[in-house]
Structure 1
């Protein structure tokens, strides 16, 4: 029987993951603006377009087998080794394919000059997939502290190297070195931490039980990838590399809060939900609590960034990027709208509802791509991102209906509970926008605007949160007290 991990174990692992992502957040908060000042929008666009292909094939190469391995009981060594070698074989084939067909692929994506970059970046695929198995073993053991440490170390050293190379005039290659350095350091760290050493064992019969789960997960991952990466490809083809670079830079920055909270929480929740088995009440309570907490944390950050996007773009990225402030604001708004959905994907994966996940992700991918293309054609980059906001509003309702139906949670009750703090954050952001409009001309510079907006937003949100989420705050206090009491009772 799989070990039962309670609130203490889950919260401890979430804490480690959030700590690592927070360190990465601080690093990117500093390095992304520095790189934006040293490199051009076209250089960012070239790397972003090439990376889209690499990331897509990296995801396909795994074929969902590592995810299936997480929910598989036990750690059968023959199965583990077989998954590793299948992943590596797929990675090498795809890497070779990119190298050979780099020119037509780059032209297809609207960036024919990126073919050379694409050939070099093809070698990222086997590096990244070679580390998937080691990460899977750490996740299966709920040992996220080691992954957190190596993620922080790899991102830190890679970012320092990128800034140094950009300053020395290496241009676009600074971003390429950053990607390779982070991947190689993390690969080494994951294998060292997990203690995994591959052996020449391949047993196809061991893989067959994994494919039933992995096929649904792979399909949904492809759809999610299309959702998040199709805007880059469509914008590059229809609007050019400069707009693609502006989108890339703004998206990197607007995604930082998501990377801090979501990637940390989702990585822990997937194995945690899978270990809860058929305990429906426990799963439902964990789903609603985790959804509320992530929304409380993320919604004010994203809506707040939308409210102060104009001064923030000027302060953080400089005057050369000031024209792109609507891009930053609309991207933050689009991410804010779907914050209540943050726990739905790991929930559906962990509870084995791959078909629901596949259909939900597929419909979202189609709608996102169509909206971005239509907006790009009819109104340029801001119109494309406005379309993305509308799609995400529909996504919120659709995903909520699908997940609450799976777990027999009343739809309106679940939607209100999960989205209440998002609506509170929206009210806060509207108040901040109104305040900055009233103070227009009275504040000396964009730095003052940003400080006033951040202070006012934090104060307003704290008051509204206390008025609307007292039950949640009491529950969190009770959990912390119970965890501390359990820690005191444990024998030394």
Structure 2
């Protein structure tokens, strides 16, 4: 079934290992730090991280990705990219540092100022490393990217835990970010030192040559950033750092699965879509295979964490984080929809349909923000998650319809591909609910593990049953 994907098997494994290193290790470190730090302190970092992520995703990636996708590249092109990213990141870093006091006053949080000053350095470090990352991504060196992530995240986590234990509060989280990006930069430089040493080079010819594609990628990046981080921004503005910390806990847990599975597979799918862009039938089959794989891996994670959200949060992170549990169901919907949307976006960018994703992302953003502001008046921080889940569902649906038209792929065919995972996830939720209703009180690690295993086994058996049923139906009735 997955012959097309197996060609890229090695890259897929290392790409997922890269994201797994960042998310799984970060999760363990986060769980430890959550016992020592407060939601308010995590909220301070989340606010500062909004600005760092904007600089990285909407600006630096917009400059780097056209170079990565260029037909022909040489060292001089990467020298120019290094110069451009370093210069722009230095400006952005300076602006963030100079506005730190103003932003602290806006959020009525004086302790936000040192956090913003420290995180401004992270922007500069990202700029210095972006050209190196572009070369590694261009060469498909996911193995080195994974090793780099494991090393940098691990060392950064050790530094954060030591400083948190010493009572440094939010500054421990800042030190973690600075250490992680510094180690990542050092490893990237050392790995490429023998084949490429960046030089300062400026070229207006290259700026004009790549300006159009940078604009397209940048527009999509801004809209995707707004869709991915707009909820956190609204929480921080409307409800302050404390609520932002609670919101960010749920988001961090559930985004980990999305980044490990959804983002990794979407990234790997690009190279396959590019090779098959002249064959509509092959594109359709590859899209369905990736969609099936993404859902099969993500649905059980989100189904089980949703039904076990409250005991999971209290057991792992502590009583102070209990209020984040109601957010899980809505955020699970958000990230499941984003994974499907991201796969469709990869297909669009790989087949020359780059105008579609920004339009859909803008529509999704407007719906999400409007619904979030409306529901916040009634449900507080949960209302923002409800609003963005509504926007994500609509955005994903529109993307699937667009892909269906582009590939001449019936919607029923796409729905059939999705059904085994979705139905199995629903069944696993019901079984765990019945288990709890029958007397299993999930109050400690032992009962949490038992309930999770029951959910996984139920999902696996249900999925196998539905897939076999589909094959039999296809064989005898078509």
So what's the TM-score if we normalise by structure 1?
A: 0.88
Task: Measure, in 1, the Cα distance between the counterparts of 2:103 and 2:199.
Answer: 35
Q: CA deviation at 1:152?
A: 1.2
Q: CA deviation at 1:342?
A: 4.3
SS at match of 1:278: coil
Q: Is the 8 A contact 2:341 2:399 kept in 1?
A: yes
| 1:225 aligned onto 2:225 | yes
After superposition, the CA RMSD in angstroms is: 2.5
SS at match of 1:294: helix
Instruction: Rate the CA distance shift 1:473–1:335 in 2: closer, same or farther, 3 A.
Output: farther
Unaligned segments of structure 1, at least 5 residues: 475-492
Q: Is the 8 A contact 2:375 2:387 kept in 1?
A: yes
Q: Say which is worse superposed, 180-189 or 346-355, in terms of deviation.
A: 346-355
Unaligned segments of structure 2, at least 5 residues: 473-478
Task: Measure, in 2, the Cα distance between the counterparts of 1:471 and 1:215.
Answer: 47
Q: Say which is worse superposed, 185-194 or 353-362, in terms of deviation.
A: 185-194
Task: Measure, in 2, the Cα distance between the counterparts of 1:295 and 1:447.
Answer: 27
Q: Which residue of structure 2 lines up, in the alignment, with residue 78 of structure 1? A: 76
Q: CA deviation at 1:168?
A: 1.6
Q: CA deviation at 1:292?
A: 0.9
Instruction: Rate the CA distance shift 1:64–1:110 in 2: closer, same or farther, 3 A.
Output: farther
Q: CA deviation at 1:132?
A: 1.8
So what's the TM-score if we normalise by structure 2?
A: 0.91
Q: 2:179 aligns with which of 171, 178, 181?
A: 181
| 1:162 aligned onto 2:140 | no
| 1:87 aligned onto 2:82 | no
| 1:14 aligned onto 2:12 | yes
Q: Which residue of structure 2 lines up, in the alignment, with residue 466 of structure 1? A: 464
Q: Output aligned runs, 1:40-119, within 5 Å.
A: 40-62=38-60, 64-108=62-106, 111=109, 113-119=111-117
Aligned length: 468
Q: Output aligned runs, 1:194-209, within 5 Å.
A: 194=192, 195-209=195-209
Q: Which residue of structure 2 lines up, in the alignment, with residue 279 of structure 1? A: 279
Instruction: Rate the CA distance shift 1:458–1:449 in 2: closer, same or farther, 3 A.
Output: same
| 1:310 aligned onto 2:294 | no
Q: CA deviation at 1:109?
A: 5.3
Instruction: Rate the CA distance shift 1:71–1:444 in 2: closer, same or farther, 3 A.
Output: closer
Instruction: Rate the CA distance shift 1:25–1:56 in 2: closer, same or farther, 3 A.
Output: closer
Q: Output aligned runs, 1:128-277, within 5 Å.
A: 128-194=126-192, 195-277=195-277
Q: CA deviation at 1:280?
A: 3.0
Task: Measure, in 2, the Cα distance between the counterparts of 1:113 and 1:376.
Answer: 26
**Deviation by residue 1:110-155 (Cα, 9 ceiling, x = unmatched):** 6554133212211211211222222222222222111111111111
Q: Is the 8 A contact 1:45 1:245 kept in 2?
A: yes
Q: CA deviation at 1:250?
A: 1.9
SS at match of 2:355: helix
Instruction: Rate the CA distance shift 1:109–1:293 in 2: closer, same or farther, 3 A.
Output: farther
Task: Measure, in 1, the Cα distance between the counterparts of 2:208 and 2:441.
Answer: 65
Q: Which residue of structure 1 lines up, in the alignment, with residue 476 of structure 2? A: none
Q: Is the 8 A contact 1:36 1:249 kept in 2?
A: no
Task: Measure, in 2, the Cα distance between the counterparts of 1:32 and 1:149.
Answer: 20
**Deviation by residue 1:228-278 (Cα, 9 ceiling, x = unmatched):** 111112112222221111011221122221222123223323344334443
Q: Which residue of structure 2 lines up, in the alignment, with residue 27 of structure 1? A: 25
Instruction: Rate the CA distance shift 1:164–1:298 in 2: closer, same or farther, 3 A.
Output: same
Q: CA deviation at 1:59?
A: 2.7
Instruction: Rate the CA distance shift 1:36–1:251 in 2: closer, same or farther, 3 A.
Output: same
Q: CA deviation at 1:419?
A: 5.2
SS at match of 2:433: helix
Q: Which residue of structure 2 lines up, in the alignment, with residue 488 of structure 1? A: none
Instruction: Rate the CA distance shift 1:200–1:321 in 2: closer, same or farther, 3 A.
Output: closer
SS at match of 1:354: coil
Q: Is the 8 A contact 1:49 1:111 kept in 2?
A: no
SS at match of 1:266: helix
